[in-house]
Amino acid sequence: MIDYKPFWTTLKTSDESTYTLINRYHISSSTIDKLRKNKPVTTTTLNDLCRALNCRLEEIARYVPSDDDQPL
């Protein structure tokens, strides 16, 4: 499963907030909600978040093995 816990840590240590992501960088509030709930987001969104926060992908998301993952 993809976990967005690193995003919240990165956001907290940055000069940005969910408010600035929504209003300055035009990240939708539904995307912020998806990140809160570890729901899927597009790679374009991940790219936008990395650009807005000036960080690397691993500072936004990480893979965590889970028994709830769909079978391959």
pLDDT above 90 (res 29): yes
Give the 3-state secondary structure of residue 62. Answer: strand
CATH architecture of 2-63: Orthogonal Bundle (1.10)
Alpha helix (H) ranges present in 1-72?
5-13, 18-23, 29-36, 43-53
pTM: 0.89
pLDDT above 90 (res 69): no
Given the DSSP bridges, would you call strands 62-63 and 2-3 parallel, antiparallel or unpaired?
antiparallel
Q: Residue 72: its pLDDT value, please?
A: 82
Q: Taking all residues of the chain, what is their mean pLDDT, rounded to a whole number?
A: 95
